[in-house]
């Protein structure tokens, strides 16, 4: 399985970079991972920033990937349900997944329209940089569940 995390901006804080690096190291046993960062737009209104970031995201989306966007209005899963979804996608021909994390203003409507699945972690708003850690942890947990391996609860 090939999984790409496509995200706006880079990780500025060392503790977030360290956490992501640790999960990416652990995940190497389960799938091939890449992280693609697009530039965070600094100028203009929130709508303009989302639009410009969305254009950058769309240029990086492969045509053969199953697109999962992180969105508050998306479907929420338990960890077991999320693991089952990853397993189902891999089993039934969607072995290339791209998870998209928007910037601080969210995702443009054009990016959301490209989604095969909208995924919500919560109705709360979280910093987009922290969401990268949350996402990697849940993907890791999902693979542990799929394989029946122990993982702390």
Binding-site positions: 70, 102, 121-126
Measured between alpha carbons, how far is 53 from 42 in angstroms, rounded to an integer? Answer: 10
What DSSP assignment string belongs to 13-44?
SHHHHHHHHHHHHHHTTT-EEEEEEEPPP-SS
Neighbours of 86 (CB within 10 A): 24
Encoded tokens for 55: 């254009």
Encoded tokens for 6: 């496509």
CB-based contact 102:74 (threshold 8 Å): no
CB-based contact 132:11 (threshold 8 Å): yes
Q: Which residues on adjacent β-strands are paired with residue 103?
A: 106
Annotated binding site for S-adenosyl-L-methionine: 70, 102, 121-126
Alpha carbons within 13 angstroms on the beta-carbon side of residue 32 total: 4
């Amino acid at each position: 399985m090939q999984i790409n995390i496509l995200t706006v901006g880079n990780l500025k804080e060392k503790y977030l970079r360290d956490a992501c690096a640790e999960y990416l190291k652990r995940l190497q046993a389960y799938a091939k991972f890449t992280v693609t960062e697009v530039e965070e737009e600094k100028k203009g209104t929130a709508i303009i920033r989302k639009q410009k970031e969305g254009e950058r995201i769309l240029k990086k989306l492969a045509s053969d990937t199953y697109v999962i966007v992180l969105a508050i209005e998306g479907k929420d899963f338990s960890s077991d349900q999320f693991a089952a979804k990853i397993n189902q996608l891999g089993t039934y021909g969607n072995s290339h997944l791209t998870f998209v994390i928007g910037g601080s203003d969210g995702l443009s409507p054009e990016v959301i329209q490209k989604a095969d699945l909208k995924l919500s972690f919560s109705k709360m708003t979280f910093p987009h940089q922290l969401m990268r850690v949350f996402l990697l942890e849940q993907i890791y947990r999902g693979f542990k569940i799929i394989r029946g391996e122990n993982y702390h609860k």
